[in-house]
Amino acid sequence: MQKRAFTLIELLVVIAIIAILAAILFPVFAQAREKARQTSCLSNQKQIGLGVMQYVQDYDETYPTAYYYKNNTATTNGGSAGGYVHISVLINPYLKNEQVWVCPSDATKGIAPDNAPCANWTDIATPGCEAQVPRLSYIPNSSVIPRKRGPQDAPNVVSLAAVDAPADVIAIGEMTDFLNCIQLGSTGQGNNERRNKSHRPVNVIMRSAGGGAWNGQNVADATGPIFALTLAQAQGPLGWGGPADSRGITDPAGCRGTMADTGYHVRFMSPGRHAGGSNYMFADGHAKWHRFNDTINPNRFLWGRTFFGTGQPVLDQAGFQVR
């Protein structure tokens, strides 16, 4: 009997079919892997939400601050040179797991603190080191978890009763993985280099309908009207400089393309890490995926109708309180 071998054309056809199938299936596999990472990230935020809510119950129904300085006195802010205590330390007794603060989809695998963390990162007493989880992928919304660094700062910590609709107010989002967006100039530690300001909270607020960065802790910030950012402003040169639903760069002046100290604090967050959206933990402890542009709809504004730490209403472009 004569054995029949494959011809060259037959082999090439089989190889072409395999290549076509691979081209079709590999993106599907990549999407499935990312979906798994997104689910793991959402689970992390749910655990953080449970920790926050346990903290709230133990501390007279009051949310924690984003961070505070270690060397404060009863009446004055001590300053960053003494180190700070971050929210990750405040709720660690309820979590006891530092890995929960890192999102598997974070390209940086979590951003490190401003200075090196304390030898024991939960050390709230030793001066000059940061009591913050070593790697961090999540960031508080300062409307609920404010930047209350010390007694001289304008905001107060926020009570549960002050948040009018906790299930519709974001408490914690996902931190940026563009280091340009979070590395700011630092002078408090006796130097002028740039540091990862991973302890800073995010906000989607500006000083006027036309713009103006709003820091959220100074007395001046608490005395005037505040306005919700628009999508165009968040994606513009004082924001990311790119679309909210991707990692693209459409304006190189934005923080995705240029390192700068000025700009809206929205740039501290990652708006499109998972399939064009991001995971958010809400003030009642639950977590859910949203597209960023849906969260800033003035008719269903999910960042807080009020800056709860000062009681200032957040206004839309027409000057009416967001809804």
Longest dimension (CA), the chain: 100
Amino acid at 151: P
Whether residue 323 lies inside any domain: the answer is: no
pLDDT in the model for residue 170: 98
Domain count, the chain: 1
Whether residue 76 lies inside any domain: the answer is: yes
Whether residue 138 lies inside any domain: the answer is: yes
Taking a C-beta distance cutoff of 8 angstroms, is the pair 195, 183 a contact? Answer: yes
For 239, residues 6+ apart whose C-beta sits below 8 A from its C-beta are 229, 233, 254, 255, 263, 264, 266, 267
Taking a C-beta distance cutoff of 8 angstroms, is the pair 63, 171 a contact? Answer: yes
pLDDT in the model for residue 63: 98
Nearest-CA neighbor of 45 among 5, 118, 130, 105?
105
pLDDT in the model for residue 3: 59
pLDDT in the model for residue 186: 72
Whether residue 92 lies inside any domain: the answer is: yes
Whether residue 52 lies inside any domain: the answer is: yes
What six digits make up the tokens of 228?
């919700």
Distance CA 116, CA 128 (A): 9
For residue 84, the enclosing domain spans: 10-315
pLDDT per residue of the chain (323 residues) written in tens, 0 to 9: 555 666 878 788 888 888 888 888 677 666 778 888 999 999 999 999 999 999 999 999 999 999 999 999 999 999 888 999 999 999 999 999 999 999 999 999 999 998 888 999 999 999 999 999 999 999 999 999 999 999 999 999 999 999 999 999 999 999 999 999 999 887 655 556 788 899 999 999 999 998 888 888 888 888 889 999 999 999 999 999 999 999 999 999 999 999 988 899 999 999 999 999 999 999 999 999 999 999 999 999 999 999 999 999 999 999 999 99
Whether residue 224 lies inside any domain: the answer is: yes
Whether residue 2 lies inside any domain: the answer is: no
Distance CA 11, CA 304 (A): 62
Whether residue 1 lies inside any domain: the answer is: no
pLDDT in the model for residue 193: 73
